[in-house]
Structure 1
Amino acid sequence: MTRERRASSEALALAAAFVGGACLSLQARFNGTLGEPLSEPLVAAIWSFGSGLALLVLALAVPSLRQGATRLVLSIRAGRLRWWECLGGVLGGAFVAVQTSAVALLGVAVFIVASVGGRALGGLLADHVGAGPKGRTPITPARALAGAFAVVGVGITVSGQHVPGGIAILPALAVIIAGVMTQFQQGLNGRVSARAGSSYATTLQNFLVGVIALVVFAGARVLLGFTQWQWPHDAPWWAWLGAPLGIAFIGLSAWATEHISVLVLGLMGIMGQLVAALVIDLLNPVAREGVDVRTVVGMVVTAAAAAVAARSGGRRATSDARS
């Protein structure tokens, strides 16, 4: 690939990561509305993931998409893709499970900062061990500093939010670990997309594995008597749009990881989330009052972190995960 084509692909990948992050922010709002009639947010996540899986299964009627899914199966059978590389959905399901219980214990602000800290650390580690399709990108002072700046930037953005009862250490630690796992999920998804030659196939297997993981998590809670299965009967129709947004996020991220590092993917996604959240708040007369200078400063710091990460060795993979 020529230098010009590589630069063009990386620019498109940065844009895809940003848009994917914006989709994730919107998805959270829609899923929150979907879960309002339910006593268990985890069950709402199952309905959202399940409806997304149904859409992806229906898409198998398109021949080109069906061919991508077939290539994925053949890659697994031929050993070009190992079975554990297709478990990214389990990591995503684990994050949702942790999110379900941790937000109530930590508050939204602390949860967001802990999550971003985990994602920054996870991006560094995933690149360092070569979890993504670009191979290994060692941890350097500049990349570590970019991850730290991202946490500081998001911390500034949410610093005006109320933290109920201080910080609970164990739930915060669980969120950080879950954030690390989501970045390894993105790396694995990039591997699957590169081997199958189809981001659709990656998204399909991710939703399938994710639904299974969520059903197991929620089923255990049902058996233990902590919750019960419910249908979100009072949710508006548009609340179900979280499913296609989730499809867009996974598909865009899987493709982007073939061209940029996992760390840069995560930081650009965080930036997309912040911008989308800001736009949503500005459109809401009540939420608009909470937007102040800290929001803008935090977003600028986060954007600077993403820029530093993108310029600090994103291309210097020491080995190719495709080999």
Structure 2
Amino acid sequence: MACLVGDHRDVGAISSQTRHVHRGDAMTRERRASSEALALAAAFVGGACLSLQARFNGTLGEPLSEPLVAAIWSFGSGLALLVLALAVPSLRQGATRLVLSIRAGRLRWWECLGGVLGGAFVAVQTSAVALLGVAVFIVASVGGRALGGLLADHVGAGPKGRTPITPARALAGAFAVVGVGITVSGQHVPGGIAILPALAVIIAGVMTQFQQGLNGRVSARAGSSYATTLQNFLVGVIALVVFAGARVLLGFTQWQWPHDAPWWAWLGAPLGIAFIGLSAWATEHISVLVLGLMGIMGQLVAALVIDLLDPVAREGVDVRTVVGMVVTAAAAAVAARSGGRRATSDARS
């Protein structure tokens, strides 16, 4: 009889523990779902910021003959804002943790090179927007980001680990490029067809996704998206100054101040800060591809609104622009349904 009572007690204890485990698993799933939902929203807002930044940086670069110089002004003003933010103790602590992570070897030096890729993107952005218009520029960058997301996830560039390139995901990337082709078809620029600057934007878009993957790694190890953004802008400014300085010394260009640019053109810097900070945090919770897809949605919506509100740019919005955006959005949906959130566990190797 005593044995039966003991058995019943053991069964009751096991059942209670099982309920606690299931309840804990459910709470973990809820927290994960909540974090992913917030990350998706952050990626969407970041994409919208990127569309606005493209317009502002393009306007900033119009008075200048050298895109690298315009990119330096944009990155440099953003870095100045981030340095001023070091006056906030909590943000300063995040920057300190980043430095300690590098010294301790928890963060490898090449993981901090995302700013170089970001600087290259801004340099392309400042010249391509004036040639292509905001809508075409955005769709071209969408194609590059879709391809870059596939590649970055495949090699495990982000903190979520590797996600192999499946036929569905590859097809989605191809559809994104088709969307670019539809949008730029028939449009011309002085001295050549629009596909040439569009290809440059596609390549820059690929680099942007690797930048986001690296930034996600930095943010995960430093525990601060602010610190990630600060080092990103710092590295980007250094790279741009080196490249532009070499061109100045070789006589290919001159150092210029964008004196004719309107005041609002300088708002590209804080928008860039928002984009990098939001993306760095979001990449800790979703894959690089899914980050890019939601950013694409934000870009498309914001870009179309920008062009429709501009009387001059509105004339360039025709059926091809809309069809190209729809095809690219469909590509994003296909990739998302193909399991963009699944990743292997070797992210932190």
In structure 2, the CA distance between the partners of 1:35 and 1:102, relative to structure 1 (3 Å rule), is closer
Range 59-68 or range 106-115, more displaced: 106-115
Residues 187 and 193 in structure 2, CA contact (< 8 A), matched pair in contact too: no
Structure 2 residues without counterparts, runs of 5 or longer: 1-26
Shift, 1:258, TM fit: 1.2
The residue matched to 2:189 in structure 1 has which SS? coil
Separation in structure 1 between the aligned mates of residue 116 and residue 242 of structure 2, nearest angstrom: 10
In structure 2, the CA distance between the partners of 1:235 and 1:190, relative to structure 1 (3 Å rule), is same
In structure 2, the CA distance between the partners of 1:304 and 1:23, relative to structure 1 (3 Å rule), is same
TM-score (norm 1): 0.89
Deviation string, structure 1 residues 263-287 (Cα, Å, up to 9, x no partner): 2222322232221111111212232
Shift, 1:298, TM fit: 2.7
Residues 54 and 126 in structure 2, CA contact (< 8 A), matched pair in contact too: no
Larger-Rg structure: 2
In structure 2, the CA distance between the partners of 1:271 and 1:216, relative to structure 1 (3 Å rule), is same
Range 99-108 or range 232-241, more displaced: 99-108
Residues 58 and 127 in structure 2, CA contact (< 8 A), matched pair in contact too: no
In structure 2, the CA distance between the partners of 1:154 and 1:170, relative to structure 1 (3 Å rule), is closer
| Equivalent pairs, count | 323
CA RMSD of aligned residues (A): 2.7
Separation in structure 2 between the aligned mates of residue 69 and residue 151 of structure 1, nearest angstrom: 38
Residues 110 and 167 in structure 1, CA contact (< 8 A), matched pair in contact too: no
In structure 2, the CA distance between the partners of 1:10 and 1:152, relative to structure 1 (3 Å rule), is farther
Range 192-201 or range 265-274, more displaced: 265-274
Residues 271 and 302 in structure 1, CA contact (< 8 A), matched pair in contact too: no
Range 288-297 or range 229-238, more displaced: 288-297
In structure 2, the CA distance between the partners of 1:252 and 1:160, relative to structure 1 (3 Å rule), is farther
Structure 1 residues without counterparts, runs of 5 or longer: none
Range 192-201 or range 303-312, more displaced: 303-312
Separation in structure 2 between the aligned mates of residue 170 and residue 288 of structure 1, nearest angstrom: 23
Residues 74 and 269 in structure 2, CA contact (< 8 A), matched pair in contact too: yes
Range 31-40 or range 75-84, more displaced: 31-40
Residues 51 and 134 in structure 2, CA contact (< 8 A), matched pair in contact too: no
Separation in structure 1 between the aligned mates of residue 45 and residue 93 of structure 2, nearest angstrom: 26
In structure 2, the CA distance between the partners of 1:45 and 1:166, relative to structure 1 (3 Å rule), is closer
Residues 140 and 180 in structure 2, CA contact (< 8 A), matched pair in contact too: no
Shift, 1:163, TM fit: 5.3
Deviation string, structure 1 residues 227-273 (Cα, Å, up to 9, x no partner): 11111222222111110000001111111111121122223222322
The residue matched to 1:290 in structure 2 has which SS? coil
Range 163-172 or range 234-243, more displaced: 163-172
Range 164-173 or range 296-305, more displaced: 164-173
1:251 match? 277
Range 185-194 or range 272-281, more displaced: 272-281
Separation in structure 2 between the aligned mates of residue 106 and residue 243 of structure 1, nearest angstrom: 21
Shift, 1:66, TM fit: 0.8
In structure 2, the CA distance between the partners of 1:86 and 1:215, relative to structure 1 (3 Å rule), is same
2:298 match? 272
In structure 2, the CA distance between the partners of 1:256 and 1:72, relative to structure 1 (3 Å rule), is same
In structure 2, the CA distance between the partners of 1:320 and 1:306, relative to structure 1 (3 Å rule), is same
TM-score (norm 2): 0.83
